[in-house]
A and B are shown apart, each in its own frame.
Chain A
Amino acid sequence: MTQLLQALLNGVMTGALIAVPAIGFSAIFAVLRYPNFAIAAYATIGAFAAWWANAQLGLPIVASLFVAFAVTGVVGVAAEETALKRLRGNGALIVAIASIALNLVLENIVRFIFGNEMRGYDLPIARDLRFGELRIGPQQLQSLLLSVIIMAAMFLFLRYTRFGKAMRAVADNPDLARLKGIDPARIAIVTIFLGAGLTGVGGVLIGLDTSIDPLTGYRVLLSVFAAAVLGGLGSIPGAVVGALMLGIAEELALLAVPATYRTAVGFVAILLMLTFRPRGILGERAA
Protein backbone atom coordinates (compact mmCIF):
# COMPACT_ATOMS: atom_id res chain seq x y z
CA MET A 1 0.00 0.00 0.00
CA THR A 2 2.82 2.39 0.91
CA GLN A 3 4.49 1.54 -2.39
CA LEU A 4 1.31 2.40 -4.26
CA LEU A 5 0.85 5.70 -2.42
CA GLN A 6 4.50 6.58 -2.99
CA ALA A 7 4.05 5.83 -6.71
CA LEU A 8 0.95 8.03 -6.82
CA LEU A 9 2.79 10.84 -5.06
CA ASN A 10 5.77 10.53 -7.40
CA GLY A 11 3.34 10.46 -10.32
CA VAL A 12 1.78 13.75 -9.29
CA MET A 13 5.27 15.26 -8.93
CA THR A 14 6.34 13.96 -12.37
CA GLY A 15 3.05 15.06 -13.93
CA ALA A 16 3.36 18.56 -12.52
CA LEU A 17 6.83 18.88 -14.07
CA ILE A 18 5.64 17.66 -17.47
CA ALA A 19 2.55 19.90 -17.28
CA VAL A 20 4.48 23.16 -17.64
CA PRO A 21 6.14 22.38 -21.00
CA ALA A 22 2.95 20.58 -22.08
CA ILE A 23 1.03 23.83 -21.54
CA GLY A 24 3.60 25.62 -23.72
CA PHE A 25 3.30 22.97 -26.43
CA SER A 26 -0.50 23.05 -26.34
CA ALA A 27 -0.68 26.85 -26.38
CA ILE A 28 1.46 26.97 -29.52
CA PHE A 29 -0.63 24.22 -31.13
CA ALA A 30 -3.90 25.95 -30.21
CA VAL A 31 -3.00 29.21 -31.93
CA LEU A 32 -0.70 28.11 -34.75
CA ARG A 33 -2.22 24.67 -35.43
CA TYR A 34 1.01 22.71 -35.74
CA PRO A 35 2.95 20.56 -33.25
CA ASN A 36 6.23 22.32 -32.50
CA PHE A 37 8.76 19.62 -31.62
CA ALA A 38 11.47 22.24 -31.14
CA ILE A 39 10.06 22.59 -27.63
CA ALA A 40 12.58 19.90 -26.64
CA ALA A 41 15.39 22.33 -27.48
CA TYR A 42 13.49 25.19 -25.83
CA ALA A 43 13.34 23.15 -22.61
CA THR A 44 17.08 22.48 -22.83
CA ILE A 45 17.87 26.13 -23.57
CA GLY A 46 15.74 27.20 -20.61
CA ALA A 47 17.51 24.72 -18.38
CA PHE A 48 20.94 26.01 -19.43
CA ALA A 49 19.91 29.68 -19.24
CA ALA A 50 18.77 29.13 -15.66
CA TRP A 51 21.92 27.16 -14.86
CA TRP A 52 24.01 30.06 -16.15
CA ALA A 53 22.02 32.53 -14.06
CA ASN A 54 22.05 30.31 -10.98
CA ALA A 55 25.42 28.57 -10.95
CA GLN A 56 27.45 31.25 -12.76
CA LEU A 57 25.83 34.52 -11.73
CA GLY A 58 24.64 33.33 -8.33
CA LEU A 59 20.97 34.22 -8.78
CA PRO A 60 18.45 32.27 -6.73
CA ILE A 61 16.40 29.61 -8.51
CA VAL A 62 13.19 31.65 -8.70
CA ALA A 63 15.01 34.56 -10.35
CA SER A 64 16.73 32.07 -12.66
CA LEU A 65 13.31 30.83 -13.76
CA PHE A 66 12.50 34.33 -15.02
CA VAL A 67 15.81 34.38 -16.93
CA ALA A 68 14.96 30.99 -18.46
CA PHE A 69 11.48 32.22 -19.42
CA ALA A 70 12.78 35.37 -21.09
CA VAL A 71 15.72 33.73 -22.90
CA THR A 72 13.63 30.82 -24.20
CA GLY A 73 10.76 33.09 -25.17
CA VAL A 74 13.10 35.24 -27.28
CA VAL A 75 14.76 32.15 -28.82
CA GLY A 76 11.30 30.73 -29.62
CA VAL A 77 10.13 33.92 -31.35
CA ALA A 78 13.43 34.27 -33.26
CA ALA A 79 13.27 30.63 -34.41
CA GLU A 80 9.67 31.02 -35.47
CA GLU A 81 10.24 34.25 -37.37
CA THR A 82 13.38 33.08 -39.14
CA ALA A 83 12.67 29.40 -39.78
CA LEU A 84 9.12 28.18 -39.23
CA LYS A 85 6.87 31.11 -40.13
CA ARG A 86 7.59 30.99 -43.86
CA LEU A 87 6.63 27.30 -43.95
CA ARG A 88 3.20 27.71 -42.36
CA GLY A 89 1.49 28.05 -45.72
CA ASN A 90 2.67 24.54 -46.66
CA GLY A 91 0.63 22.83 -43.97
CA ALA A 92 1.09 21.58 -40.41
CA LEU A 93 3.05 18.47 -41.36
CA ILE A 94 5.79 20.43 -43.11
CA VAL A 95 6.17 22.83 -40.16
CA ALA A 96 6.19 19.91 -37.72
CA ILE A 97 9.00 18.21 -39.67
CA ALA A 98 10.90 21.50 -39.88
CA SER A 99 10.52 21.90 -36.10
CA ILE A 100 12.26 18.52 -35.63
CA ALA A 101 15.16 19.80 -37.76
CA LEU A 102 15.15 23.07 -35.84
CA ASN A 103 15.27 21.08 -32.62
CA LEU A 104 18.44 19.30 -33.75
CA VAL A 105 20.09 22.58 -34.75
CA LEU A 106 19.28 24.29 -31.44
CA GLU A 107 20.27 21.24 -29.41
CA ASN A 108 23.66 21.17 -31.11
CA ILE A 109 24.17 24.88 -30.58
CA VAL A 110 23.67 24.22 -26.85
CA ARG A 111 26.13 21.33 -27.11
CA PHE A 112 28.65 23.58 -28.86
CA ILE A 113 28.39 26.31 -26.22
CA PHE A 114 28.09 24.28 -23.01
CA GLY A 115 29.58 20.90 -23.93
CA ASN A 116 28.14 17.46 -23.27
CA GLU A 117 28.74 17.05 -19.55
CA MET A 118 25.94 16.99 -17.03
CA ARG A 119 25.49 20.02 -14.84
CA GLY A 120 23.58 20.68 -11.66
CA TYR A 121 22.03 23.77 -10.15
CA ASP A 122 23.47 25.37 -7.07
CA LEU A 123 21.07 23.92 -4.54
CA PRO A 124 21.45 23.24 -0.84
CA ILE A 125 21.59 19.57 0.08
CA ALA A 126 18.58 18.71 2.18
CA ARG A 127 17.04 15.59 3.62
CA ASP A 128 13.86 14.13 2.28
CA LEU A 129 10.70 15.05 4.14
CA ARG A 130 8.83 12.08 5.59
CA PHE A 131 5.10 11.78 5.99
CA GLY A 132 4.66 8.43 7.66
CA GLU A 133 6.17 5.99 5.20
CA LEU A 134 6.03 8.46 2.31
CA ARG A 135 9.10 10.44 1.29
CA ILE A 136 9.30 13.69 -0.66
CA GLY A 137 12.45 15.59 -1.55
CA PRO A 138 12.29 19.27 -0.53
CA GLN A 139 13.40 20.21 -4.05
CA GLN A 140 10.55 18.13 -5.52
CA LEU A 141 8.13 19.92 -3.23
CA GLN A 142 9.48 23.31 -4.30
CA SER A 143 9.22 22.32 -7.98
CA LEU A 144 5.66 21.13 -7.44
CA LEU A 145 4.79 24.43 -5.81
CA LEU A 146 6.42 26.39 -8.64
CA SER A 147 4.54 24.29 -11.22
CA VAL A 148 1.24 24.96 -9.51
CA ILE A 149 1.97 28.70 -9.36
CA ILE A 150 2.94 28.77 -13.05
CA MET A 151 -0.18 26.81 -14.05
CA ALA A 152 -2.38 29.11 -11.97
CA ALA A 153 -0.74 32.20 -13.49
CA MET A 154 -1.32 30.85 -17.00
CA PHE A 155 -4.93 30.03 -16.16
CA LEU A 156 -5.53 33.54 -14.80
CA PHE A 157 -3.80 35.10 -17.81
CA LEU A 158 -5.99 33.20 -20.28
CA ARG A 159 -9.20 33.70 -18.36
CA TYR A 160 -9.00 37.29 -17.23
CA THR A 161 -6.61 39.32 -19.38
CA ARG A 162 -7.44 40.97 -22.68
CA PHE A 163 -4.52 39.29 -24.41
CA GLY A 164 -5.33 35.90 -22.90
CA LYS A 165 -8.89 36.15 -24.18
CA ALA A 166 -7.59 37.21 -27.60
CA MET A 167 -5.37 34.10 -27.61
CA ARG A 168 -8.39 31.92 -26.88
CA ALA A 169 -10.39 33.71 -29.59
CA VAL A 170 -7.68 33.16 -32.22
CA ALA A 171 -7.33 29.53 -31.14
CA ASP A 172 -11.09 29.05 -31.51
CA ASN A 173 -11.67 30.86 -34.80
CA PRO A 174 -8.88 32.97 -36.38
CA ASP A 175 -11.11 34.34 -39.16
CA LEU A 176 -13.73 35.57 -36.71
CA ALA A 177 -10.98 37.01 -34.50
CA ARG A 178 -9.66 38.94 -37.50
CA LEU A 179 -13.15 40.26 -38.19
CA LYS A 180 -13.22 41.56 -34.63
CA GLY A 181 -10.02 43.53 -35.17
CA ILE A 182 -7.62 41.06 -33.53
CA ASP A 183 -4.37 40.55 -35.40
CA PRO A 184 -3.67 36.79 -35.37
CA ALA A 185 -0.04 37.39 -36.38
CA ARG A 186 0.54 39.53 -33.29
CA ILE A 187 -1.23 37.01 -31.08
CA ALA A 188 0.92 34.25 -32.62
CA ILE A 189 4.13 36.03 -31.59
CA VAL A 190 2.89 36.50 -28.01
CA THR A 191 1.79 32.86 -27.91
CA ILE A 192 5.15 31.60 -29.14
CA PHE A 193 6.96 33.77 -26.59
CA LEU A 194 4.74 32.44 -23.83
CA GLY A 195 4.77 28.83 -25.05
CA ALA A 196 8.52 28.69 -25.59
CA GLY A 197 9.09 30.55 -22.31
CA LEU A 198 6.94 28.10 -20.37
CA THR A 199 8.73 25.19 -22.01
CA GLY A 200 12.04 26.70 -20.94
CA VAL A 201 10.78 27.01 -17.38
CA GLY A 202 9.64 23.38 -17.62
CA GLY A 203 13.18 22.44 -18.60
CA VAL A 204 14.49 24.12 -15.44
CA LEU A 205 11.97 22.30 -13.23
CA ILE A 206 12.95 18.99 -14.81
CA GLY A 207 16.63 19.87 -14.34
CA LEU A 208 16.06 20.73 -10.68
CA ASP A 209 14.77 17.21 -10.18
CA THR A 210 17.89 15.60 -11.64
CA SER A 211 20.60 17.38 -13.63
CA ILE A 212 20.87 18.97 -17.07
CA ASP A 213 22.68 18.19 -20.31
CA PRO A 214 21.97 18.95 -24.00
CA LEU A 215 19.43 16.11 -24.15
CA THR A 216 17.37 17.27 -21.14
CA GLY A 217 14.48 18.44 -23.33
CA TYR A 218 14.69 15.58 -25.80
CA ARG A 219 14.26 13.03 -23.01
CA VAL A 220 10.89 14.46 -21.98
CA LEU A 221 9.64 15.32 -25.48
CA LEU A 222 7.60 12.14 -25.81
CA SER A 223 6.04 12.60 -22.37
CA VAL A 224 5.15 16.22 -23.14
CA PHE A 225 3.65 15.28 -26.50
CA ALA A 226 1.77 12.35 -24.96
CA ALA A 227 0.39 14.61 -22.21
CA ALA A 228 -0.84 17.12 -24.80
CA VAL A 229 -2.45 14.36 -26.91
CA LEU A 230 -4.03 12.77 -23.84
CA GLY A 231 -5.53 16.05 -22.69
CA GLY A 232 -6.56 17.09 -26.20
CA LEU A 233 -4.14 18.92 -28.49
CA GLY A 234 -4.62 22.64 -28.07
CA SER A 235 -6.38 22.43 -24.72
CA ILE A 236 -4.46 24.10 -21.89
CA PRO A 237 -6.48 22.47 -19.06
CA GLY A 238 -6.21 19.25 -21.06
CA ALA A 239 -2.42 19.50 -21.05
CA VAL A 240 -2.43 19.69 -17.25
CA VAL A 241 -4.85 16.78 -16.87
CA GLY A 242 -2.93 14.76 -19.48
CA ALA A 243 0.40 15.44 -17.78
CA LEU A 244 -0.89 14.36 -14.37
CA MET A 245 -2.44 11.21 -15.82
CA LEU A 246 0.72 10.36 -17.70
CA GLY A 247 2.95 11.05 -14.69
CA ILE A 248 0.86 8.78 -12.49
CA ALA A 249 0.66 6.10 -15.20
CA GLU A 250 4.45 6.17 -15.64
CA GLU A 251 5.09 5.80 -11.92
CA LEU A 252 2.48 3.08 -11.47
CA ALA A 253 3.91 1.20 -14.45
CA LEU A 254 7.27 1.13 -12.70
CA LEU A 255 5.69 -1.05 -10.00
CA ALA A 256 5.19 -3.76 -12.61
CA VAL A 257 7.87 -3.25 -15.28
CA PRO A 258 11.56 -2.25 -15.26
CA ALA A 259 12.39 1.47 -15.47
CA THR A 260 13.68 1.03 -19.03
CA TYR A 261 10.07 0.61 -20.14
CA ARG A 262 9.02 3.93 -18.67
CA THR A 263 9.05 5.65 -22.07
CA ALA A 264 6.73 3.00 -23.45
CA VAL A 265 3.95 4.36 -21.23
CA GLY A 266 3.87 7.53 -23.32
CA PHE A 267 3.66 5.57 -26.56
CA VAL A 268 0.89 3.36 -25.19
CA ALA A 269 -1.01 6.42 -23.92
CA ILE A 270 -0.85 8.11 -27.35
CA LEU A 271 -1.88 4.90 -29.09
CA LEU A 272 -4.86 4.27 -26.81
CA MET A 273 -6.06 7.85 -26.92
CA LEU A 274 -5.81 8.17 -30.69
CA THR A 275 -7.63 4.85 -31.06
CA PHE A 276 -10.51 5.44 -28.69
CA ARG A 277 -10.83 9.23 -28.30
CA PRO A 278 -8.79 11.12 -30.92
CA ARG A 279 -9.79 14.54 -29.61
CA GLY A 280 -8.35 13.75 -26.19
CA ILE A 281 -9.91 14.13 -22.76
CA LEU A 282 -10.72 17.85 -22.94
CA GLY A 283 -10.09 18.55 -26.64
CA GLU A 284 -12.67 20.43 -28.68
CA ARG A 285 -11.68 19.13 -32.08
CA ALA A 286 -10.21 15.98 -33.51
CA ALA A 287 -6.47 15.97 -33.15
Chain B
Amino acid sequence: MSAAAGAVLRATGIVAGYGAAEQILKGTSLHVAPGEIVSIIGPNGAGKSTLLKTLAGLVPAREGEIHLGGRDLTRADALGRSRAGIGFVPQERNVFGAMTVSDNLEISGFQNPGEVGRRSEEMYARYPMLADKRKALARTLSGGQRQILAMAMGLMNAPSLLLLDEPTAGLSPKAADELFDAIVALNRGGLPILMVEQHALEALAISTRGYVLVSGRNSREGAGPALASDPDIRKLFLGG
Protein backbone atom coordinates (compact mmCIF):
# COMPACT_ATOMS: atom_id res chain seq x y z
CA MET B 1 0.00 0.00 0.00
CA SER B 2 2.77 2.43 0.91
CA ALA B 3 4.69 1.58 -2.26
CA ALA B 4 1.59 2.19 -4.34
CA ALA B 5 0.97 5.51 -2.60
CA GLY B 6 4.16 7.06 -3.99
CA ALA B 7 3.77 5.41 -7.36
CA VAL B 8 4.17 7.08 -10.73
CA LEU B 9 1.33 4.94 -12.06
CA ARG B 10 -1.41 3.38 -10.00
CA ALA B 11 -4.15 1.32 -11.64
CA THR B 12 -6.81 -0.21 -9.42
CA GLY B 13 -9.52 -2.75 -10.23
CA ILE B 14 -9.39 -2.29 -13.98
CA VAL B 15 -12.21 -3.93 -15.91
CA ALA B 16 -11.96 -3.59 -19.68
CA GLY B 17 -12.54 -5.39 -22.97
CA TYR B 18 -13.19 -4.80 -26.64
CA GLY B 19 -16.80 -5.80 -27.29
CA ALA B 20 -19.84 -4.68 -25.32
CA ALA B 21 -20.04 -7.92 -23.36
CA GLU B 22 -16.45 -9.13 -23.56
CA GLN B 23 -14.37 -8.67 -20.43
CA ILE B 24 -10.66 -9.28 -20.86
CA LEU B 25 -9.48 -7.52 -17.72
CA LYS B 26 -11.46 -8.49 -14.65
CA GLY B 27 -10.24 -6.27 -11.88
CA THR B 28 -6.53 -6.00 -12.61
CA SER B 29 -4.42 -3.76 -10.37
CA LEU B 30 -0.79 -2.67 -10.53
CA HIS B 31 1.54 0.17 -9.74
CA VAL B 32 4.87 1.42 -11.01
CA ALA B 33 7.15 3.25 -8.59
CA PRO B 34 9.72 5.88 -9.63
CA GLY B 35 12.77 4.36 -11.32
CA GLU B 36 11.28 0.91 -11.72
CA ILE B 37 11.12 -1.47 -14.63
CA VAL B 38 7.97 -3.52 -14.17
CA SER B 39 7.16 -6.50 -16.38
CA ILE B 40 3.79 -8.08 -16.95
CA ILE B 41 3.96 -11.73 -17.92
CA GLY B 42 1.37 -14.40 -18.39
CA PRO B 43 -0.04 -16.92 -20.84
CA ASN B 44 -1.56 -15.96 -24.18
CA GLY B 45 -4.96 -14.35 -23.74
CA ALA B 46 -4.24 -13.24 -20.17
CA GLY B 47 -4.97 -9.62 -21.12
CA LYS B 48 -1.41 -8.26 -20.96
CA SER B 49 -1.58 -6.14 -24.11
CA THR B 50 -5.16 -5.11 -23.34
CA LEU B 51 -3.95 -3.84 -19.98
CA LEU B 52 -1.30 -1.64 -21.62
CA LYS B 53 -3.80 -0.38 -24.20
CA THR B 54 -6.23 0.43 -21.40
CA LEU B 55 -3.54 2.31 -19.49
CA ALA B 56 -2.68 4.21 -22.70
CA GLY B 57 -6.32 5.08 -23.30
CA LEU B 58 -6.86 3.07 -26.48
CA VAL B 59 -9.29 0.73 -24.72
CA PRO B 60 -11.71 2.38 -22.26
CA ALA B 61 -11.78 1.12 -18.68
CA ARG B 62 -15.31 0.19 -17.66
CA GLU B 63 -14.40 0.04 -14.02
CA GLY B 64 -11.43 0.95 -11.88
CA GLU B 65 -9.14 3.95 -11.56
CA ILE B 66 -5.94 5.05 -13.27
CA HIS B 67 -3.72 7.67 -11.68
CA LEU B 68 -0.48 9.07 -13.05
CA GLY B 69 1.60 10.93 -10.49
CA GLY B 70 -1.49 11.46 -8.35
CA ARG B 71 -3.55 12.80 -11.27
CA ASP B 72 -6.76 10.92 -12.08
CA LEU B 73 -6.64 9.88 -15.75
CA THR B 74 -9.44 7.32 -15.61
CA ARG B 75 -11.70 9.33 -17.94
CA ALA B 76 -8.91 10.70 -20.16
CA ASP B 77 -8.62 9.36 -23.71
CA ALA B 78 -5.38 8.38 -25.46
CA LEU B 79 -4.68 11.98 -26.42
CA GLY B 80 -5.19 13.19 -22.86
CA ARG B 81 -2.99 10.46 -21.39
CA SER B 82 -0.25 11.15 -23.91
CA ARG B 83 -0.38 14.81 -22.98
CA ALA B 84 -0.35 13.88 -19.28
CA GLY B 85 2.93 12.01 -19.72
CA ILE B 86 2.19 8.40 -20.67
CA GLY B 87 4.33 7.24 -23.58
CA PHE B 88 3.05 4.06 -25.20
CA VAL B 89 4.94 2.01 -27.79
CA PRO B 90 2.49 -0.47 -29.36
CA GLN B 91 3.61 -3.90 -30.48
CA GLU B 92 2.57 -3.43 -34.11
CA ARG B 93 2.16 -0.50 -36.46
CA ASN B 94 4.25 1.57 -34.06
CA VAL B 95 5.94 3.82 -36.64
CA PHE B 96 4.60 5.92 -39.53
CA GLY B 97 5.91 3.72 -42.33
CA ALA B 98 5.58 6.19 -45.19
CA MET B 99 7.49 8.91 -43.33
CA THR B 100 11.23 9.26 -42.81
CA VAL B 101 12.94 8.50 -39.52
CA SER B 102 13.44 12.21 -38.85
CA ASP B 103 9.81 12.99 -39.67
CA ASN B 104 8.70 10.17 -37.34
CA LEU B 105 10.68 11.75 -34.53
CA GLU B 106 9.48 15.24 -35.35
CA ILE B 107 5.81 14.26 -35.44
CA SER B 108 6.21 12.34 -32.17
CA GLY B 109 7.25 15.57 -30.51
CA PHE B 110 4.14 17.33 -31.80
CA GLN B 111 3.17 18.56 -28.33
CA ASN B 112 6.40 20.47 -27.86
CA PRO B 113 7.43 21.91 -31.23
CA GLY B 114 10.08 24.12 -29.66
CA GLU B 115 11.84 21.09 -28.21
CA VAL B 116 11.72 18.85 -31.29
CA GLY B 117 15.17 19.77 -32.64
CA ARG B 118 16.94 19.27 -29.31
CA ARG B 119 15.12 16.05 -28.49
CA SER B 120 15.74 14.62 -31.98
CA GLU B 121 19.46 15.27 -31.55
CA GLU B 122 19.29 13.53 -28.16
CA MET B 123 17.72 10.50 -29.82
CA TYR B 124 20.35 10.50 -32.58
CA ALA B 125 23.08 10.64 -29.92
CA ARG B 126 21.44 7.86 -27.88
CA TYR B 127 20.71 5.68 -30.91
CA PRO B 128 23.30 6.45 -33.63
CA MET B 129 21.58 4.05 -36.02
CA LEU B 130 18.70 6.51 -36.23
CA ALA B 131 21.10 9.30 -37.19
CA ASP B 132 22.51 7.14 -39.99
CA LYS B 133 19.00 6.34 -41.22
CA ARG B 134 17.37 9.70 -40.62
CA LYS B 135 16.37 10.15 -44.26
CA ALA B 136 15.21 6.55 -44.70
CA LEU B 137 11.51 5.70 -44.76
CA ALA B 138 10.52 3.95 -41.54
CA ARG B 139 9.05 1.02 -43.45
CA THR B 140 12.49 0.22 -44.87
CA LEU B 141 14.03 -0.38 -41.41
CA SER B 142 14.69 -3.85 -40.04
CA GLY B 143 12.53 -5.13 -37.17
CA GLY B 144 15.09 -4.21 -34.53
CA GLN B 145 15.73 -0.79 -36.04
CA ARG B 146 12.00 -0.16 -36.19
CA GLN B 147 11.60 -1.01 -32.50
CA ILE B 148 14.41 1.37 -31.61
CA LEU B 149 12.71 4.08 -33.66
CA ALA B 150 9.37 3.31 -32.00
CA MET B 151 11.00 3.61 -28.58
CA ALA B 152 12.70 6.87 -29.53
CA MET B 153 9.33 8.16 -30.75
CA GLY B 154 7.85 7.23 -27.39
CA LEU B 155 10.50 9.40 -25.72
CA MET B 156 10.02 12.51 -27.87
CA ASN B 157 7.27 13.94 -25.65
CA ALA B 158 9.46 13.42 -22.56
CA PRO B 159 7.03 11.01 -20.88
CA SER B 160 6.98 10.40 -17.14
CA LEU B 161 6.23 6.71 -17.79
CA LEU B 162 6.97 4.51 -20.82
CA LEU B 163 4.73 1.56 -21.70
CA LEU B 164 6.27 -1.05 -24.01
CA ASP B 165 4.08 -3.72 -25.58
CA GLU B 166 6.11 -6.79 -26.59
CA PRO B 167 9.13 -4.74 -27.65
CA THR B 168 11.15 -7.79 -28.73
CA ALA B 169 8.36 -9.56 -30.65
CA GLY B 170 9.65 -10.87 -33.95
CA LEU B 171 13.26 -9.86 -33.30
CA SER B 172 16.30 -12.10 -33.61
CA PRO B 173 17.89 -13.14 -30.26
CA LYS B 174 20.74 -10.69 -30.88
CA ALA B 175 18.39 -7.81 -31.71
CA ALA B 176 16.23 -8.71 -28.69
CA ASP B 177 19.28 -8.61 -26.39
CA GLU B 178 20.28 -5.23 -27.80
CA LEU B 179 16.78 -3.93 -27.21
CA PHE B 180 16.76 -5.17 -23.61
CA ASP B 181 20.11 -3.36 -23.15
CA ALA B 182 18.55 -0.22 -24.58
CA ILE B 183 15.59 -0.53 -22.17
CA VAL B 184 17.91 -0.90 -19.19
CA ALA B 185 20.00 2.09 -20.32
CA LEU B 186 16.85 4.15 -20.67
CA ASN B 187 15.69 3.19 -17.20
CA ARG B 188 19.07 4.07 -15.70
CA GLY B 189 18.34 7.62 -16.80
CA GLY B 190 15.43 7.57 -14.35
CA LEU B 191 12.50 6.74 -16.63
CA PRO B 192 10.04 4.23 -15.15
CA ILE B 193 9.07 1.53 -17.62
CA LEU B 194 6.13 -0.87 -17.68
CA MET B 195 6.40 -3.60 -20.28
CA VAL B 196 4.61 -6.66 -21.53
CA GLU B 197 6.97 -9.37 -22.80
CA GLN B 198 6.67 -12.86 -24.19
CA HIS B 199 10.36 -13.44 -23.41
CA ALA B 200 9.39 -13.56 -19.75
CA LEU B 201 12.66 -14.85 -18.29
CA GLU B 202 14.73 -12.16 -19.97
CA ALA B 203 12.22 -9.47 -19.11
CA LEU B 204 12.03 -10.44 -15.44
CA ALA B 205 15.82 -10.56 -15.25
CA ILE B 206 16.03 -6.83 -15.98
CA SER B 207 12.88 -5.88 -14.06
CA THR B 208 12.61 -4.46 -10.57
CA ARG B 209 9.26 -6.16 -10.16
CA GLY B 210 6.88 -8.29 -12.14
CA TYR B 211 3.20 -9.15 -12.29
CA VAL B 212 1.80 -12.44 -13.47
CA LEU B 213 -1.55 -12.03 -15.15
CA VAL B 214 -3.92 -14.95 -15.69
CA SER B 215 -7.35 -14.61 -17.31
CA GLY B 216 -7.44 -10.89 -16.72
CA ARG B 217 -6.65 -11.08 -13.02
CA ASN B 218 -3.52 -10.59 -10.93
CA SER B 219 -2.08 -14.00 -10.15
CA ARG B 220 1.36 -13.30 -8.68
CA GLU B 221 3.52 -10.27 -7.94
CA GLY B 222 7.09 -10.01 -6.80
CA ALA B 223 10.66 -8.95 -7.48
CA GLY B 224 11.66 -9.65 -11.08
CA PRO B 225 14.60 -12.03 -10.44
CA ALA B 226 12.62 -13.84 -7.72
CA LEU B 227 9.71 -14.44 -10.06
CA ALA B 228 12.10 -15.54 -12.80
CA SER B 229 13.55 -18.21 -10.54
CA ASP B 230 10.26 -19.31 -8.98
CA PRO B 231 9.75 -22.96 -9.98
CA ASP B 232 5.96 -22.60 -10.19
CA ILE B 233 6.24 -19.63 -12.52
CA ARG B 234 8.83 -21.37 -14.66
CA LYS B 235 6.71 -24.48 -14.87
CA LEU B 236 3.37 -22.79 -15.47
CA PHE B 237 4.34 -20.02 -17.85
CA LEU B 238 7.87 -20.41 -19.01
CA GLY B 239 8.13 -24.12 -19.68
CA GLY B 240 11.05 -24.37 -17.31
CA distance A176 to B56 in the complex (A): 11
* B-contacting residues, A212-252, CB 8 Å: none
A173 nearest CB neighbor, chain B only: B93
* B-contacting residues, A106-165, CB 8 Å: 162, 165
Contact call B78/A183, Cβ cutoff below 8 A: no
Chain A at the B interface: SS class: helix
| Chain A residue contacts of B111, Cβ below 8 A | 180-181
Contact call A169/B107, Cβ cutoff below 8 A: yes
Contact call A165/B106, Cβ cutoff below 8 A: yes
Number of interface residues of A (CB under 8 A): 17
CA distance A167 to B19 in the complex (A): 29
Q: Which of B97-105, B126-134, B199-207, B218-226 is the interface stretch?
A: B97-105
> Does B185 sit within 8 A of A, measured CB to CB?
no
> Does A166 sit within 8 A of B, measured CB to CB?
yes
> Does A104 sit within 8 A of B, measured CB to CB?
no
Contact call A181/B82, Cβ cutoff below 8 A: yes
* B-contacting residues, A230-280, CB 8 Å: none
* A-contacting residues, B56-113, CB 8 Å: 56, 58, 77-79, 82-83, 87-88, 90, 93-99, 103, 106-108, 110-111, 113
Which residue of the partner chain, among A175, A180, A183, A284, contacts B107 with CB atoms under 8 Å?
Answer: A180
| Chain B residue contacts of A178, Cβ below 8 A | 77-79, 82
State whether A173 and B78 are in contact (beta carbons under 8 Å apart), knowing that A165-B106, A166-B107, A179-B88 are contacts in the complex.
no
A174 nearest CB neighbor, chain B only: B78
> Does A182 sit within 8 A of B, measured CB to CB?
yes
| Chain B residue contacts of A162, Cβ below 8 A | 106, 110, 113
| Chain B residue contacts of A168, Cβ below 8 A | 96, 98-99
Which residue of the partner chain, among B83, B87, B94, B156, contacts A176 with CB atoms under 8 Å?
Answer: B94
Which residue of the partner chain, among A169, A172, A176, A181, contacts B90 with CB atoms under 8 Å?
Answer: A176
CA distance A183 to B72 in the complex (A): 21
| Chain A residue contacts of B94, Cβ below 8 A | 176
Number of interface residues of B (CB under 8 A): 27
| Chain B residue contacts of A179, Cβ below 8 A | 56, 58, 78, 82, 87-88, 90
Q: How far is the CB of A63 from chain B (nearest CB, A)?
A: 32
| Chain B residue contacts of A177, Cβ below 8 A | 107
Which residue of the partner chain, among B78, B98, B103, B156, contacts A175 with CB atoms under 8 Å?
Answer: B78
Looking at A162, A175, A177, A181, the one whose CB has the most chain B CB atoms below 10 A away is A181
A185 nearest CB neighbor, chain B only: B79
CA distance A169 to B99 in the complex (A): 8
| Chain B residue contacts of A181, Cβ below 8 A | 79, 82-83, 110-111, 157
Contact call B97/A172, Cβ cutoff below 8 A: yes
A160 nearest CB neighbor, chain B only: B103
Contact call B58/A175, Cβ cutoff below 8 A: yes
| Chain B residue contacts of A175, Cβ below 8 A | 58, 78, 90, 93
Which residue of the partner chain, among B77, B93, B108, contacts A180 with CB atoms under 8 Å?
Answer: B108
Contact call B107/A165, Cβ cutoff below 8 A: yes
Q: How far is the CB of B158 from chain A (nearest CB, A)?
A: 11
State whether A165 and B82 are in contact (beta carbons under 8 Å apart), knowing that A176-B93, A180-B157 are contacts in the complex.
no
Q: How far is the CB of B150 from chain A (nearest CB, A)?
A: 9
> Does B153 sit within 8 A of A, measured CB to CB?
yes
Q: How far is the CB of A277 from chain B (nearest CB, A)?
A: 18
Q: How far is the CB of A171 from chain B (nearest CB, A)?
A: 9
CA distance A168 to B98 in the complex (A): 9
CA distance A183 to B56 in the complex (A): 15
Which residue of the partner chain, among A165, A182, A183, contacts B99 with CB atoms under 8 Å?
Answer: A165
Contact call B97/A180, Cβ cutoff below 8 A: no
Q: How far is the CB of B93 from chain A (nearest CB, A)?
A: 6
Contact call B96/A169, Cβ cutoff below 8 A: yes
| Chain B residue contacts of A183, Cβ below 8 A | 79
Contact call A165/B103, Cβ cutoff below 8 A: yes
CA distance A162 to B157 in the complex (A): 15
B86 nearest CB neighbor, chain A only: A179
CA distance A176 to B106 in the complex (A): 14
State whether A173 and B96 are in contact (beta carbons under 8 Å apart), knowing that A165-B103, A179-B90, A180-B82 are contacts in the complex.
yes
- In the assembled complex, 15 residue pairs joining A and B whose CB atoms fall closer than 8 Å, in A order, are A166-B107, A168-B99, A172-B96, A172-B99, A175-B90, A176-B96, A177-B107, A179-B56, A179-B82, A180-B82, A180-B111, A180-B157, A182-B79, A182-B110, A183-B79
Which B residues are closer than 8 A to A by beta carbons? Answer: 56, 58, 77-79, 82-83, 87-88, 90, 93-99, 103, 106-108, 110-111, 113, 153, 156-157
In the A-B complex, the 6 residue pairs with the smallest Cβ-Cβ separation, listed nearest first, are: A181-B111, A178-B78, A181-B82, A180-B108, A172-B96, A169-B107
